[in-house]
Copies of this chain bind each other. A is one copy, B any other.
Amino acid sequence: MRAKRTRAQQTDERRLAIVAAALDAFVESGFEATKISDVAARAGVAKGTVYLHFADKEALFEAIVRDALSPVVQGIGAISTDGVASVRSLFEAFALPLMLDIVESRRGDVLRLLISEGRRFPRLAEFYHAEILTPAKAHIQRLLCKAVENGELRNPGLAEYPLLVAAPMLMSVIWAGLFQRLDPIDFEALFRTHLDTLFMPGA
């Protein structure tokens, strides 16, 4: 039995519980409609404890979203494009599972949250733009250039607009949040069709 944890460990666990609870609550209800008392209850701590870790509701919100996004930031930096023969197969191997994960997981929830609240948290929008969108755009662009070199792309002009490549993913995230229960979409098939549109057939 080593159930005994140190004081510091308990504190850390509590902080993590608050972060997790807050993410759930914000995702479920949005910023304004989320009550700190609800976050505390979900985390199994008293209201005041939330304020030991975060100065106020806004700070909690920003910290939560940043925390949830930072693994994405890391992930983007880690992708390499060296020695890639077929860009399409790279997309199928990496981008497709990534997209399916984002659409259905907590990461998609955070993205939806960011889309919903970004207007009122410009700092978060800036963070997301600087740390995620811009690197991701650059990365996609590198891949598209390589695809152009390989003659894989149907429309070489796409290399100028990497966002067009990512648009279906964004749409899927939103669809998943709002309409999937009404009108389910097969996101994998959708994404494969997207790839068929971008790349030469039989590549």
A residues with CB within 8 A of B: 28-33, 112, 115-120, 125-126, 129, 133-134, 154-155, 157-158, 160-161, 163-164, 166-168, 170-171, 174-175, 177-179, 182-183, 185, 189-190, 193-194, 196-198, 201
Q: How far is the CA of A54 from the CA of B170 in the complex (A)?
A: 35
* Given A32-B30, A116-B116, A190:B164 Cβ within 8 A: yes
Q: Which residue of B lies closest to A130 (CB)?
A: B182
Which residues of chain B come closer than 8 Å to A177, judged between CB atoms?
Answer: 118-119
| In the complex with contacts A115-B178, A126-B182, A193-B120 CB distance below 8 A | no
- Give 13 A-B pairs besides A30-B32, A163-B171, A163-B185 with Cβ atoms closer than 8 angstroms: A29-B120, A30-B120, A31-B32, A115-B174, A119-B177, A133-B179, A160-B193, A161-B189, A161-B190, A163-B175, A164-B197, A167-B171, A170-B174
Contact B178 A168 (CB under 8 A): no
Assembled-state Cα–Cα distance A1/B101 (Å): 65
